[in-house]
Every structure is written in C-alpha cells, then in structure tokens.
C-alpha cells in the first residue's frame, strides 16, 4: 500500500479489506506491529507537536480515520480513497478475521466498566476469539517498573492482537514505544472501546459519510470536546488551505 505525507504525518492509502488482512497476518505471526486510526484531532496534534509526530510516524500503519483526512489525501495526492478507514469499523473487520483463525486478543486501556462490556460484546459476536487479558487504564503514565510488568503480562498471555484504547495521542505514543517489545499487533483504536461496549452512541451513517461525526460527538460530550473540535478543526482547515495554495 502507498504511503503519503499529509502535513508531515505518513498515512497509508488503504481500505478495510487490505488493512485488516495485513493486521491479522502480523497478529497471526505475533509480529510486533503498530496501527493507528488517525482522524483530524490526532493529525493536528501530531503536526504541532514534534515529539508526538515522531511517535506517530514510527507506527507502520496509520490509516485515515476521518473523512476530512481522506478528502485531503485525495486532493493532494489523488490517492483514490473511496472511503475512510474508521477505527471502530476497522476493529470489527480485524476481529472478524481473527475470529476465523481463533486468535487471541488483549484489551489495554479504558475503564473497568467499558472493558467488561467490550469483552461481553466480543464473546457474543466473535465466539472463537480468545480473550487473553484485560488491562484497565491507569489514566497516567506507567512507571518503568510497571511498564516492564505490563509487557511481561501481555507477552505471557500469548496475545496475537492488542487493542489499545487510551485516547489520542496517548494510545499512539504507547503503541510506538512498545514496538519491538510487545510480541503482537497493536491497534490504537480509541473510541472503538466505548462504541462497541455500548457506552457511547455512534453517529448516524449519513453524518459519518458527510464528515460530521465530530458534530455528533460534540453534541454528546460538549464540555469535554468543544475545545478539541474548535481548535483542531480550525487548524485543519487553515493548514489545508495553506498547503493547497502555497506549500505544494
């Protein structure tokens, strides 16, 4: 699959079928592999923060989660993307293929309630999948000693796939820092935990297609998300126009 640098962040021009096949193959082999589904918020955070940008660019597969990201890739590079690669949807594609091969999955992040409900969802929909472990988020950085123990637990569990739901960009940083340490395919999928656990509702399909999922989520969680979307959406529009008119 081709990779393109959008504002200095390298995206893979791919689709659900190709991306999920690649991920599950790495998972089957227990290759230490990283995936991020990066929408506008993550893109702009990485653009303005060099340290985070370096972490994101260390991840082998970064897919265009948001419609505006897809539109930008098509506009700048004629990438020919017919759809975005939405993290929660990509998660389902990967779990479905992992289910047919009876692989094991490890959940890392989110709250106990969300993880418990996500486990129930996985067992109900993908009965051949093995839940090899669950690690609830500490909502802080692990100490070096804790991190060593986390890695040991994940590797000892025999997990093929690690779903990481720590919120962007913490989950991307975690995946990047554990490449070569965790012997599994690691996916930074964020809201997939909440959506598939039934904790948060997903936007209607028409809003997703129109690139308005951010508005739906803003209505659901205005106090937490208003600043994120006001700032990052404005930054994205500015950088898109600047690069379109002057940079490229």
Q: Is the pLDDT of residue 217 over 80?
A: no
- Report pLDDT digits (tens) over 40-72: 999 999 999 999 999 999 999 999 998 999 999
Q: Which residues is 186 bridged to in the sheet? A: 34, 162
Give the model confidence (pLDDT) of 119-153 as tens digits: 999 999 999 999 999 999 999 999 999 999 999 99
Task: Give the integer Cα–Cα distance in Å for 110 and 102.
Answer: 24
Are 169 and 97 a contacting pair, CB within 8 Å?
A: no
Structure confidence at residue 130 (pLDDT): 97
CA distance 61 to 149: 26
Give dist(CA 29, CA 217) in Å, integer. 36
pLDDT of residue 18: 98
For 76, half-sphere exposure in the C-beta direction (CA atoms, 13 angstrom radius) is 24
| Dist. CA 230–CA 214, nearest whole Å | 10
* Predicted confidence (pLDDT) at residue 248 exceeds the cutoff of 70: no
User: In whole numbers, what is the pLDDT of the chain averaged over residues?
Assistant: 94
pLDDT of residue 80: 94
Pairwise CA distance, residues 176 & 180, whole Å? 9
pLDDT of residue 208: 81
Residue 115 has pLDDT above 80, yes or no: yes
Name the percent of the chain lying above pLDDT 90.
Answer: 82
pLDDT per position as a tens digit, 186-208: 999 978 999 999 988 787 888 88
Cα separation, 136 vs 120, whole angstroms:
15
Can you give the pLDDT at residue 221? 79
Task: Name which residue leads in pLDDT, 162 or 244.
Answer: 162
Kindly report whether the global pTM for this prediction surpasses the value 0.85: yes
Secondary structure of the chain in HEC code, one letter for each residue: CEEEEECCEEEEECCHHHHHHHHHHHHHCCCCEEEEEECHHHHHHHHHCHHHHHHHHCCCEEEECCHHHHHHHHHHHCCCCCCCCCHHHHHHHHHHHHHHCCCEEEEEECCHHHHHHHHHHHHHHCCCCEEEEEECCCCCCCCHHHHHHHHHHHHHHCCCEEEEECCCCHHHHHHHHCCCCCCCEEEECCCHHHHHHCCCCCCCHHHHHCCCHHHHHHHHCHHHHHHHHHHHHHHHHHHHHHHHHHHC
Q: What is the mean pLDDT of residues 2-20?
A: 97
């Amino acid at each position: 699959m081709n990779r393109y640098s959008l504002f200095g962040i390298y995206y893979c021009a791919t689709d659900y079928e190709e991306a999920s096949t690649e991920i599950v193959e790495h998972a089957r082999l227990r290759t230490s592999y990283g995936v991020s589904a990066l929408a506008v918020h993550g893109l702009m955070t990485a653009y303005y923060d060099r340290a985070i940008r370096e972490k994101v660019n260390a991840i082998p597969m970064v897919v265009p989660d948001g419609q505006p990201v897809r539109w930008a890739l098509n506009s700048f590079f004629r990438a020919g993307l017919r759809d975005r690669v939405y993290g929660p949807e990509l998660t389902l594609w990967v779990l479905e293929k992992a289910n047919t091969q009876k692989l094991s999955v490890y959940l890392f992040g989110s709250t106990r309630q969300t993880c418990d409900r996500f486990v129930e969802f996985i067992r109900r929909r993908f009965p051949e999948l093995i839940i090899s472990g669950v690690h609830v988020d500490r909502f802080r950085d692990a100490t070096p000693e804790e991190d060593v123990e986390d890695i040991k637990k994940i590797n000892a569990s025999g997990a093929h796939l690690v779903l990481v739901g720590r919120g962007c960009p913490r989950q991307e940083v975690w995946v990047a820092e554990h490449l070569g340490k965790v012997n599994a395919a690691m996916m930074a999928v964020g809201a997939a935990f909440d959506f598939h656990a039934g904790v948060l509702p997903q936007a209607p399909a028409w809003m997703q297609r129109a690139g308005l999922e951010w508005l739906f989520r803003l209505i659901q969680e205005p106090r937490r998300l208003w600043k994120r979307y006001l700032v990052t959406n404005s930054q994205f529009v500015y950088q898109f126009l600047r690069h379109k008119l002057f940079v490229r």
